[in-house]
Structure 1
Amino acid sequence: MTGPRSLILLAALALAPLSFAQIERGEPLLRRPALGMQIRPLTLETAQNAGLTEAKGVLIGTVTEGLSAQKWGLQPGDILTKLAGEPVAAAADVTRILATLKTGQEVAIEYIRGRDIRTARAPLAPRAYMKADGFRVHYDQVVSQGKRIRVIATHPATPGPHPTIFMIGGIGQYSIDGDYAATAYGNVLASFADRYTIIRVDKPGQGDSEGPAYSELGFGQEEDAYLQALRLAKTFEFVDPQRIAIFGHSMGGCFGPFVASQEKVAGVAVYGTLTKTYTEYLLENSRRQMAMGGGAPGDVNNALRDLAQVSHHIFIEGLSPQQVIERRPELADAVRGNIPDGRTFSGVGLGFWRELAARNLSGAWLNVDAKVLAMWGENEFIATQWDHEEIARIVNGVRPGTAEYKMVEGSDHGFFKTTSALDSMTRWGQGAEFNPEVIRVLDEWLKRTLAGA
């Protein structure tokens, strides 16, 4: 990694009576077409290697069997440049275009493999429903800020209500709708499906959920989707409303305390998250990753000096990238290097980061009236040990003995087995063996926390 643009970011108490009148389901959501591919931001370096002069397009990650991407013949590493005849400059364009298309509609694409420009045409495949596999599956929806949000529950076949895990995933444009083996966090959640109800929520605009393009999604809008889904979950007959634990990973660990402070839960577990201010985290994370990537100390300092100014102007003052360039032309290269499309930073809309920068993450934990578990992977390079120890200190400072910190041995940010933080960063995105240690730590805490709730 040579600069900030390559950064990987991030992630037994009386229950107040629930007012079911607050919950609005709306009409049932229709099934959307599924592209069946992971979308990643396209860096300028990758674009230039493909013969492009600008970072316009999206990089294809994993491809799901039987869905549209496979029918088009896409492979990991391809660059999608057109969808349904419209240019694709960033992930937000894919979301915007897909929202206008219907299942079964024949759609053409243009993509780059290596340096070859290719085209393909195929009908859009419908998203498959999750299959029951030793548990039962329930699809529902809830209205959040006028938009219907997809809520998916699995629960044991035995009579309930059951203790419940409410999953809040990390940052990024993806859907959690599908079988555990093929979706984010399935490698963790599948181990609990025979004993716990598990609630998953598609972010606004993702999967079947209504909402804006991902680049326009705000922190508060996503937070409210989780809050309304949690309130809905408490009405399910297979959910024990007094035995619910939120499990937040990465950015999900930032949402966790805000949601839990508005709707009572028995516990909040987080992994690979942060509690310091966002801009403080951004600079610290940038320095660590650039140094680990072999950046010269002087170059790293120069990059951090520019990033500190750019992040303040954009995330704190709320200036647009163009306004920063006009007012501070000496920062033009830093602005364009970090925000090449002028709309997103690390694949996420600038508005989301501005909202996050304004939030008091440490203060949010003071209002969490629940048991807390802060987990940190031993080989993390995205989140710090300090943040997780600090979460436990904050909570124990106001409710002694209710929070604990646990290091997950041999694990990285994605729950993979790695030998060091450098090993994790070097192999990031290439796939690695899953480390089940996170399941052991979480399972032991859930048994204690939800059994006595």
Structure 2
Amino acid sequence: MYKHLIGLLCSILLSVVLATPGSALDLGRRGLLGITATPLPAGAGSIGPGVLAARVIAGSPAAQAGVVSGDVVVSVDGTPLAAVDDFLREVRVHRAGDTIRVELRRAGQPLTLAITLGAVPFETAFGVDFTYDAVTTPTGLRRTIMTTPQAPAAGRRPAVLLIGGIGSYSVDYSFDPDHDVAEPYRRLLTALTRRGFVTLRVEKSGVGDSEGPPAKEVDLEGELAGYVAGLRMLKQRPEVDPERVFILGHSIGSVEAPMAAARDPVRGIVVMQGVGTTWFEYELVNVRRQLELEGLAPAAVADRMALKEWAMHRLLIEGQPRAALLAERPAAAAMIKYPASDAYLRQVAALNLPALWAPLDLPVLVVYGTADFITSEADSRAILQNVNSVHPGRGELRIIDHMDHYLTDAADQATSFKAPRAWDLTPARHPAYQTAIESVVGDWLVAQAGHSG
């Protein structure tokens, strides 16, 4: 604990965090409870609803109120919790300073606590300044986090906008002395900042400090609005050269990156672990690959693939209501379980993904990791072909051995498929960040930006 405290103090002394309290763009800070929740162990649900407090951050409001690891969180403010998503939803609507009522079950006995939420701390990093601001979208303000090198610059700097993968997750990573596992996005963006780039992240709707409906209810256009607004913000910053702004798109960010660039031009695009065919084709190939990695017999794989095709076509292509599909074939629920809204997926499925690249005559770096089980090398080569077929020589492909979809290290697809993730909450077992991504992306960006970072 002592070494973590010293590290935090050094970071605070050597990193500047800028915000503008009281301004029109001051969103306030989201509330910090300090409980990491996981589903109840198999069989535990028979004693009632709830989620497991798998970890309680030392010194957090939850810890100070008396919550301990192993407690079952039954409800928040009277709302029963049937899943981790319920817990996150009930906590995330609150800001720092709010008091919530948490009902627990400890060793079978009920316990109710009133807990006043703290403020999630701002990020810090050695040699990097952080600016917390916001952009305006039709559904409200979205939190932005900009990093700037502290080292002096001869002129205005190149910049990178991150467009991450699908889902309702935060890209605002704060210091946690008990769980100091750096997120790959943060690691990569910090490395780029130290090479002279300004970087920008935009929180999704309803995530972190952002206003608006939950990200899982937003459609593609609604999500894209935040990234386009962020792109325009970057170009208007006095420290940024508007002619040297890039987009870094990861996973489904490979779809949104060319869409954003078509609305506001950029110098170049990096796509990592992306999709290059139609979404329908991609999903079928991806699901088959994962079923086979799971070890299912060929006949079982064939049955599930038939169900997947049936459900996905009706939901995404024909636009039939989800409830009607599941009423007809309840087993299809697992085949159309998405971390985004049906409207979002329908809009993605309707896109001609190769055609997105046609109007963009700019350099594109395509990156694929050989241990990625969510996309394939064929997907990345399809993106490369999409670019070079209309703009010969503009696309390049880099393959990184032993990197998986999460930008972490794995021997192969099977190893990554079976590995625990950050949400499995076993810090000692987290896969290691694949540092090769920093040089592959960083070297290309430096060359394209024309500076010596």
Normalised TM-score (structure 2): 0.82
Structure-2 residue corresponding to 1:360 = 352
Matched, 1:107 2:95: no
- Map 1:287-436 to 2 at 5 A: 287-326=288-327, 329=328, 331-335=329-333, 337-338=334-335, 345-429=337-421, 430-436=429-435
Matched, 1:249 2:250: yes
Structure-2 residue corresponding to 1:31 = 29
Q: Deviations over 1:158-203 (max 9, x none)?
A: 2442111211111222222234875551122221222211111111
Secondary structure of 1:313's counterpart equals helix
Does the 8 Å CA contact 1:264/1:369 hold for their aligned counterparts? no
Structure 1 residues 213, 47: CA separation in 2 closer, same or farther (over 3 Å shift)?
A: farther
Residues 238-247 or 133-142, more deviating: 133-142
Structure-2 residue corresponding to 1:448 = 447
Rounded to whole Å, the distance in 1 between the matches of 2:252 and 2:61 is 29
Structure 1 residues 364, 313: CA separation in 2 closer, same or farther (over 3 Å shift)?
A: same
Structure-2 residue corresponding to 1:152 = 145
Question: How many pairs align?
Answer: 414
Secondary structure of 1:51's counterpart equals helix
Secondary structure of 1:140's counterpart equals strand
Q: How far apart are 1:333 and its partner, in Å?
A: 2.0
Does the 8 Å CA contact 2:361/2:394 hold for their aligned counterparts? no
**For residue 380 of structure 1, what is the amino acid of its counterpart?**
D
Rounded to whole Å, the distance in 2 between the matches of 1:26 and 1:129 is 19
Secondary structure of 2:366's counterpart equals strand
Residues 268-277 or 172-181, more deviating: 172-181
Structure-2 residue corresponding to 1:205 = 206
Does the 8 Å CA contact 1:249/1:270 hold for their aligned counterparts? yes
Structure-1 residue corresponding to 2:197 = 196
Rounded to whole Å, the distance in 2 between the matches of 1:57 and 1:214 is 23
Rounded to whole Å, the distance in 1 between the matches of 2:54 and 2:392 is 44
**For residue 444 of structure 1, what is the amino acid of its counterpart?**
D
Root-mean-square deviation (CA), in Å? 3.1
Task: Structure 1: state its 5+ residue gaps.
Answer: 1-24, 340-344
Rounded to whole Å, the distance in 2 between the matches of 1:179 and 1:362 is 37
Structure-2 residue corresponding to 1:137 = 130
Question: Identity of paired residues, percent?
Answer: 30
Structure 1 residues 115, 196: CA separation in 2 closer, same or farther (over 3 Å shift)?
A: farther
Q: Deviations over 1:206-257 (max 9, x none)?
A: 1111111232121211111000111011111111111111111112222111
Q: How far apart are 1:424 and its partner, in Å?
A: 1.0
Rounded to whole Å, the distance in 1 between the matches of 2:277 and 2:342 is 19
Q: Deviations over 1:322-369 (max 9, x none)?
A: 21244xx3x22223x446xxxxx2433322222221222221122223
Q: Deviations over 1:394-442 (max 9, x none)?
A: 1111111111111111111112221111011111415112221111111
Rounded to whole Å, the distance in 2 between the matches of 1:39 and 1:395 is 43
Does the 8 Å CA contact 2:317/2:349 hold for their aligned counterparts? yes
Q: How far apart are 1:267 and its partner, in Å?
A: 1.0
**For residue 32 of structure 2, what is the amino acid of its counterpart?**
A
**For residue 143 of structure 1, what is the amino acid of its counterpart?**
T
**For residue 306 of structure 2, what is the amino acid of its counterpart?**
R
Higher relative contact order (CA 8 A, sep 6+): 1
Q: How far apart are 1:387 and its partner, in Å?
A: 1.2
Rounded to whole Å, the distance in 1 between the matches of 2:281 and 2:135 is 35
Rounded to whole Å, the distance in 1 between the matches of 2:322 and 2:174 is 40
Q: How far apart are 1:108 and its partner, in Å?
A: 3.1
Structure 1 residues 314, 89: CA separation in 2 closer, same or farther (over 3 Å shift)?
A: farther
Rounded to whole Å, the distance in 1 between the matches of 2:217 and 2:250 is 22
Rounded to whole Å, the distance in 2 between the matches of 1:269 and 1:300 is 34
Q: How far apart are 1:86 and its partner, in Å?
A: 1.0
Structure 1 residues 173, 124: CA separation in 2 closer, same or farther (over 3 Å shift)?
A: same
Rounded to whole Å, the distance in 1 between the matches of 2:108 and 2:410 is 33
Residues 243-252 or 59-68, more deviating: 59-68
Q: How far apart are 1:83 and its partner, in Å?
A: 2.1
Does the 8 Å CA contact 2:51/2:74 hold for their aligned counterparts? yes
Does the 8 Å CA contact 1:26/1:141 hold for their aligned counterparts? no
